[in-house]
Amino acid sequence: MTSPEISLHQSLDLGLDGGTLTARLVDFPSVSGSEGPLADAVEAALRAYPHLTVDRYGNNVVARTNLGRSERVLLAGHLDTVPIADNVPSHVEGDLLYGCGTSDMKSGVAVQLRLAATLPDPNRDLTFVFYDCEEIEASRNGLGHLVARHPDWLAADFAVLMEPSGAMVEGGCQGTLRVDVKLTGTRAHSARSWLGDNAIHKAGEVLRRLEAYQPRRVEIDGLEYREGLNANLISGGVAANVIPDECVVHVNFRYAPDRTEAEAVEHVREVLAGFEVVVTDSAPGALPGLDQPAARAFLAAVGGEARAKFGWTDVARFSALGVPAVNYGPGDPNLAHKRDEHCSLAAIAEVEARLRAWLTAN
Amino acid sequence: MTSPEISLHQSLDLGLDGGTLTARLVDFPSVSGSEGPLADAVEAALRAYPHLTVDRYGNNVVARTNLGRSERVLLAGHLDTVPIADNVPSHVEGDLLYGCGTSDMKSGVAVQLRLAATLPDPNRDLTFVFYDCEEIEASRNGLGHLVARHPDWLAADFAVLMEPSGAMVEGGCQGTLRVDVKLTGTRAHSARSWLGDNAIHKAGEVLRRLEAYQPRRVEIDGLEYREGLNANLISGGVAANVIPDECVVHVNFRYAPDRTEAEAVEHVREVLAGFEVVVTDSAPGALPGLDQPAARAFLAAVGGEARAKFGWTDVARFSALGVPAVNYGPGDPNLAHKRDEHCSLAAIAEVEARLRAWLTAN
């Protein structure tokens, strides 16, 4: 439920501390597809700062410094949330701010806005990207629309996607490939099963191979990626008294970013050799790019140990543009999309402080 | 479509030849649940014969001779059909009578009616049973209701169920057992599959055992029964990006009638040892009873070679009453329930003639 005193046309005060600004953003509902008012407020707030050039495409807002620095860093975050589940407006309990989007990822957006407003003279040129529709089907993803229509706005040497990462650097992301394995046979009445050819039984060998499969662990730029090859869905059969003539096993391969999409397909076809494998979905991984100068400086500045990102995220879109990218945000990835979603106020302050230190160091 | 000139209240002339009577019955629609008018006509027609005692329960009609013979033979058939599929009224093409129920089993019912009307002095006492709702859920089966409410009406030394058997004697029937094999695991995000435990993968071993299973062939009373153990349905999984925590394999065991229901369950539990097996449905088989004097005489009279019945039929209900039973009818079992269902007129005449010979021989 949205509290009635919340105005959808309120302005955003970027002088607030990160935690308070996060609360304001959470109390400004922006479920996927209805980000317009929040994008308006973000655009208006940023246009107040003369050191920023602000562009807008749809409900995507891009603010940039143009100081002629030798490196450019991009910080990106999505404005939308999953549907509200009785968890708006926000509330604070001790160090924790509760509410829809606290973790995923209005805390990250608050840090972006704070840095945009308060870094008129950073050591690297900065690009801040706020986009819509990340939580829904890929075809509506605002960052994807910017890649297609305004790739020049996204030019950078390094990108930080401020998705929840527990205030740790998560490098790159794994690729994901979905295939259907189709088994076919011949129908017959169950009472005369020898006249048929059971398609479900044939799935036994597919599942046996998947069960026996030893997923690879591989180190890239010092990060360990763990792959996985799994049957996630299976269905087969016609009726309880019919020998089935079809069974489909839906298999998902999550692979380290040193494989290309084509190599991932080839690998799955090898594992399931002899079976009909149909690719239904494919998204490439993203290399962590931690060997880049900007990334090395970033890692040194934010400290802590980097780890591999396993889920697929929009860093892959930057990777496809040739921009190394990492995930780094104050939210807790395990709380995303949950009713009791919350974020540590200390983590918001810490992430902002570390990024500020990195972007102002001499 | 029912032709408009067909009266639902027409009387049945049991003096017609078997083929013509079958056509009349086919043109008298009696889809499961609406057998009332046909049961009325059958009852009225039989009551015209003083050598028969006629009883009725619901839409089930039982006609009996009471001649004090040392043996009693029961001939049974169901009055209902599957839904009409543009195949009523009937029509003749050469030797073939086309229409809904020609094979399953109004041709058998016509033979029953002909014998009931024309055998006032048979060599064995006769019981003719006409029942409803055979083609739908077992709980509505009219023969089942008679077994429960009027078992005395069904007393006999031997029973012939006139289901389509291609004018061959099909002995007994196999039992059928359904079990669900449930595999469980632990959900996890597909990108971190090592945190989960894949329930679908575990089904691989179940399916492998079923694929490797060597079904038994066994001879009983000279008939060969072939068993079968099959996964007929499988389903598992939560979503395309979740390691599944549940998978269910629906298994059907069709077994020879020398096993009891309990032995069948025990056997399946042995084959699938180590897995959770839940019985969901069980119906016992029926022994062919071809070692009985009445059956031996029947076989000798109708000639040809007997074969095992693989599908489950109502003969099992007689078997449960201690009455050996066989399937013997003019219809073709492979045409039952099909739009182009038809029956050979010669087969109708042949089955009637052979039964008549058996029931009148000295």
pLDDT reading at A3 higher than 80: no
| Selected catalytic residue, list A35, A104, A125, A134 | A134
Measured torsion, CA atoms of residues B38, B43, B45, B50, in degrees rounded to the nearest 10: 170
Quote the pTM value.
0.78
**Tens-digit pLDDT profile for residues A41-90:** 999 999 999 999 999 999 999 999 999 999 999 999 999 999 998 999 99
**Tens-digit pLDDT profile for residues B45-73:** 999 999 999 999 999 999 999 999 999 99
Of the pLDDT bands very low, low, confident and very high (cuts 50, 70, 90), residue B221 is: confident
Determine the 3-state secondary structure of A356 from DSSP: helix
Residues of B in contact with A176 (CB under 8 A): 190-191
The reply to whether residue A238 touches residue B244, judged by beta carbons under 8 angstroms, is: no
CA distance A178 to A172: 20
| Selected catalytic residue, list B27, B132, B134, B157 | B134
Measured torsion, CA atoms of residues B308, B314, B315, B317, in degrees rounded to the nearest 10: 140
pLDDT reading at A191 higher than 50: yes
Mutate to test the interface with B, among A190, A192, A246, A335 (most CBs of B within 10 A): A190
**Tens-digit pLDDT profile for residues A123-155:** 999 999 999 999 888 889 999 999 999 999 999
Ranges for all domains in chain A classified under CATH 3.30.70.360 = 180-283
pLDDT reading at A1 higher than 50: no
For B4-173+286-360, which CATH superfamily applies?
Zn peptidases (3.40.630.10)
CA distance A97 to A25: 12
Structure tokens at A169: 């650097």
The reply to whether residue B228 touches residue A200, judged by beta carbons under 8 angstroms, is: no
Please name the residue of chain B whose CA is at the shortest distance from the CA of residue A176.
B191
Structure tokens at B256: 């020879």
Of the pLDDT bands very low, low, confident and very high (cuts 50, 70, 90), residue B356 is: very high
| Selected catalytic residue, list A27, A43, A80, A314 | A80
**Tens-digit pLDDT profile for residues A104-125:** 999 999 999 999 999 999 999 9
Contact B64, B47 (CB under 8 A): no
Ranges for all domains in chain A classified under CATH 3.40.630.10 = 4-173+286-360
DSSP state letters, A42-57? HHHHHHT-TT-EEEEE
The reply to whether residue A208 touches residue B211, judged by beta carbons under 8 angstroms, is: no
ipTM above 0.85, yes or no: no
Is A134 labeled as catalytic in the residue annotation? yes
Distance from CA of A171 to the nearest CA of B (A): 14
Is B134 labeled as catalytic in the residue annotation? yes
The reply to whether residue A194 touches residue B215, judged by beta carbons under 8 angstroms, is: yes
Residues of A in contact with B200 (CB under 8 A): 207, 230-234, 249
pLDDT reading at B42 higher than 90: yes
pLDDT reading at B26 higher than 50: yes
pLDDT reading at B9 higher than 70: no
pLDDT reading at B1 higher than 50: no
Q: Please tell me which of A275-289, A334-348, B115-129, B159-173 the model is most confident about, judged by mean pLDDT.
A: B115-129
User: Which residues, 6+ apart, have CB-to-CB distance to A212 below 8 Å?
Assistant: none
pLDDT at A4: 38
pLDDT at A5: 42
For domain A180-283, give the fold. Alpha-Beta Plaits (3.30.70)
Of the pLDDT bands very low, low, confident and very high (cuts 50, 70, 90), residue B182 is: very high
Query: A61-65, A101-105, A218-222, B148-152 — which is least confidently predicted?
Result: A218-222
The reply to whether residue A210 touches residue B201, judged by beta carbons under 8 angstroms, is: yes
Residues of B in contact with A239 (CB under 8 A): 232-233
β-partners of residue B281 are B178
Of the pLDDT bands very low, low, confident and very high (cuts 50, 70, 90), residue A37 is: very high
The reply to whether residue A200 touches residue B232, judged by beta carbons under 8 angstroms, is: yes
The reply to whether residue B228 touches residue A194, judged by beta carbons under 8 angstroms, is: yes
Residues of A in contact with B176 (CB under 8 A): 190-191
pLDDT reading at A2 higher than 50: no
Distance from CA of B176 to the nearest CA of A (A): 8
Give the closest of A211, A230, A242 to B193, CB-based: A230
- Per DSSP, helices labelled H in B48-154 are 107-118, 142-149
Distance from CA of B293 to the nearest CA of A (A): 29
Give the closest of B204, B228, B252 to A204, CB-based: B204
Phi, psi at B268, each rounded to 5°: -65, -40
pLDDT reading at A35 higher than 70: yes
Q: For chain A, what is the mean pLDDT?
A: 92
